[in-house]
């Protein structure tokens, strides 16, 4: 059949089983938006293109499917950049369709022209500029394939307006024909046998699980592996939900704001088996002092991560879907009772804790109150800052995709649009968002999107009337010189929510908090709860920057 380029894009989306897209129209995008009209794909109009990118990200993380966002050219495309970078560093599968000025106007500083393929090359998995309408179906199928295979990531497809209006015969390829892209799936089974033999000699082994476990849907296998071997487990923030934190061998999060037991276990272990984690600097502390006595084993799909930060003694380069079941079948129970007893004693003697305050609400108490009320299959979304770390520390997650947060890039303003994406992908599930009075303002316009779509997102702002994590560092390392980190004129977030048409509550007391959590859980539409919390509370424990993991300040 003969279709315009815009119609072909829509048909490609249907072929890829896309049911929801997030976007914002503009001049050169109008042909595509005309084709989207009544096409059967749900288009969610965000109030900013950054919101569209983060919403597609939240959709992808919560569902495991490819998220899709659309923008016009120039500023529309560049407004996606932060969302693309956020998805890229956290390995989130997305296809970002940017519309572009006509091909004869390229490179001439035309109105609303920006070289989005050049801009996004360092922060995306791949990008395409489409030059002919005939190539469009082939490129689209390649984009979805690249985004979702291997180590996932965002792919940009830039389409000039003349390509959108030109017509050609439409035929969607059965599968992509990519000569230069062969994603790893299986690996060298002999390396797994080597790791099994190394494990047999270990007296103090530890598993370190990362976001790759969630991305490969291998949480059930990890649970089987842990139960079978009896080896203690720690996790990056991205991997935190892949094993129930209530599991007796789960030591909690590793790193700067990780638990005492997790940090001490990695520091003192003789074998560290890393599953789908990339040794981020917030995890390692001082690299030269990370796991100083350990043999390092890394299971990963991406060869660029091997020896990038931490020297690896053994690596299994393959998809965890292939390697973990084989490894789990090969291993047996480990005779490491003295080690496990020691680690669990650290866990018992140094639990996460905070001191209740009779006058003020502690921010950790807000996390705990919501955690007790939320459904087991709920999604927990965070922005970035102190509330993010408290959520990682004190919340429990009922399934591997339950925690949705900007980990690698640390993007303030991520939370609200990501929660919109998660709720759109999972309309029957609860979505709870923790934000701060700093983060929420960066994309607060997306409250209008949540109201328009009637998405029952439960937003809890931990309001300490300033930039909490910035102020914590200023307290600890800059002599309490609070430069630029205090909100001198507090925002009335209840009125802000109501101005957008959402429910709003303000909480000052513990009694009001209890009511607000109950009310929010029952709310049928979006609700924002502004909770005033202790302003000077620090996220603890903490490993000061540049120090070893065992230099923990509790």
In Å, what is the CA distance from 403 to each residue of 41, 210, 332, 415, 523? 27, 13, 31, 11, 21
- Which one of 214, 412, 469, 542 is the catalytic residue? 469
The residues, any chain, with a CB within 8 Å of residue 435's CB and separated by 6 or more, are: 382, 383, 387, 415, 416, 459, 460, 461, 462
Catalytic status, residue 111: yes
206: closest CA among 398, 344, 318?
344
User: Which tokens sit at 203?
Assistant: 């007296």
Catalytic status, residue 238: no
Tallying the residues shown for the chain, one arrives at: 554
400: closest CA among 244, 209, 252?
244
Catalytic status, residue 477: no
Cα-Cα-Cα-Cα dihedral sign, residues 462, 546, 210, 442:
positive
Please tell me the distance from the alpha carbon of residue 207 to that of residue 219, in angstroms, as a whole number. Answer: 13
Catalytic status, residue 49: yes
- Which one of 112, 445, 465, 551 is the catalytic residue? 112
> Roughly what angle, to the nearest 10 degrees, separates helices 415-425 and 49-63?
50
Q: Assess contact for 275 and 207: CB atoms under 8 A.
A: yes
Cα-Cα-Cα-Cα dihedral sign, residues 533, 537, 540, 546:
positive
The answer to whether the bond into 442 is cis (omega within 30° of 0) is: no
Pairing of strands 431-436, 458-463: parallel
Q: 17: exposed, middle or buried (C-beta count within 10 Å: 0-12, 13-18, 19+)?
A: exposed
Maximum Cα interatomic distance, the chain, rounded to a whole number of Å? 72
385: closest CA among 472, 282, 277?
472
430: closest CA among 461, 404, 408?
404
Please tell me the distance from the alpha carbon of residue 242 to that of residue 213, in angstroms, as a whole number. Answer: 7
How many CA atoms, within 13 angstroms, populate the side-chain half-sphere of residue 195?
Answer: 30
Please tell me the distance from the alpha carbon of residue 528 to that of residue 522, in angstroms, as a whole number. Answer: 13
287 three-state secondary structure: helix
Q: Assess contact for 66 and 148: CB atoms under 8 A.
A: yes
List residues bridging with 219 in a β-sheet. none
Other Cβ atoms less than 10 A from the Cβ of 553: the count is 11
User: Which tokens sit at 478?
Assistant: 């800059």
- Which one of 161, 362, 458, 503 is the catalytic residue? 161
User: Which tokens sit at 264?
Assistant: 């001490």
Q: Assess contact for 213 and 275: CB atoms under 8 A.
A: yes
In Å, what is the CA distance from 143 to each residue of 87, 126, 147, 212, 476? 15, 8, 6, 21, 46
Cα-Cα-Cα-Cα dihedral sign, residues 417, 72, 155, 278:
negative
- Which one of 49, 305, 430, 446 is the catalytic residue? 49
The catalytic residue positions are 49, 111-112, 161, 469
């Amino acid at each position: 059949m003969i279709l315009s380029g815009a119609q072909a894009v829509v048909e490609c989306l249907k072929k890829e089983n896309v049911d929801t897209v997030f976007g914002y129209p503009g001049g050169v995008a109008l042909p595509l938006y005309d084709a989207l009209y009544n096409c059967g794909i749900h288009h969610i109009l965000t109030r900013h293109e950054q919101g569209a990118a983060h919403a597609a990200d939240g959709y992808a993380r919560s569902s495991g499917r490819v998220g899709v966002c659309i923008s016009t050219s120039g500023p529309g495309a560049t407004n996606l950049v932060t969302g693309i970078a956020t998805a890229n560093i956290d390995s989130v599968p997305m296809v970002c369709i940017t519309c572009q000025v006509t091909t004869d106007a390229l490179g001439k500083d035309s109105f609303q022209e920006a070289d989005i393929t050049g801009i996004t090359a360092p922060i995306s998995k791949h990008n395409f500029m489409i030059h002919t309408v005939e190539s469009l179906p082939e490129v689209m199928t390649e984009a979805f394939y690249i985004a979702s295979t291997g180590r996932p990531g965002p792919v940009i497809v830039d389409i000039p307006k003349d390509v959108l209006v030109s017509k050609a015969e439409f035929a969607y390829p059965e599968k992509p024909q990519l000569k230069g892209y062969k994603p790893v799936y299986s690996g060298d089974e002999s390396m797994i046998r080597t790791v099994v033999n190394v494990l047999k000699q270990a007296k103090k082994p530890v598993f370190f699980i990362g976001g790759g476990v969630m991305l490969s849907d291998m949480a059930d296998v990890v649970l089987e592996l842990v139960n079978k071997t009896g080896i203690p487990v720690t996790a990056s923030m991205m991997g935190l939900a892949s094993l129930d934190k209530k599991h007796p061998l789960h030591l909690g999060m590793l790193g700067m704001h990780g638990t005492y037991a997790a940090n001490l276990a990695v520091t003192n272990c003789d074998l560290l088996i890393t599953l789908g984690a990339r040794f981020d600097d917030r995890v390692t502390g001082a690299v030269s002092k990370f796991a100083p006595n350990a043999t390092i084993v890394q299971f990963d799909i991406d060869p660029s991560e091997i020896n990038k930060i931490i020297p690896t003694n053994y690596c299994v380069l393959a998809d965890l879907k292939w390697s973990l079941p084989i490894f789990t079948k090969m291993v047996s129970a480990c005779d490491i009772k003295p080690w496990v007893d020691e680690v669990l004693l650290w866990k018992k003697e140094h639990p996460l804790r905070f001191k209740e305050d009779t006058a003020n609400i502690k921010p950790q108490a807000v996390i705990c109150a919501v955690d007790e009320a939320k459904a087991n299959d709920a999604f927990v979304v965070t922005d970035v800052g102190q509330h993010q770390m408290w959520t990682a520390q004190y919340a429990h997650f009922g399934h591997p995709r339950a925690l949705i947060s900007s980990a690698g890039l640390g993007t303030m303003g991520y939370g609200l649009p990501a929660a919109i994406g998660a709720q759109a992908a999972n309309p029957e599930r609860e979505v709870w968002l923790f934000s701060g009075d700093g983060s929420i303002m960066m994309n607060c316009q997306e409250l209008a999107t949540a109201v328009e779509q009637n998405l029952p997102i439960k937003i809890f702002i931990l309001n300490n009337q300033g930039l909490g994590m910035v102020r914590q560092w200023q307290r600890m390392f800059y002599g309490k010189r609070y430069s630029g980190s205090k909100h001198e004129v507090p925002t009335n977030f209840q009125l802000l929510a109501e101005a957008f048409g959402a429910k709003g509550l303000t909480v000052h007391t513990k009694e009001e908090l209890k009511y607000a959590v109950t009310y929010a859980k029952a709310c049928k539409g979006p609700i924002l709860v502004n909770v005033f919390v202790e302003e000077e509370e620090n996220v603890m424990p903490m490993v000061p920057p540049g120090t070893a993991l065992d230099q923990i300040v509790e």
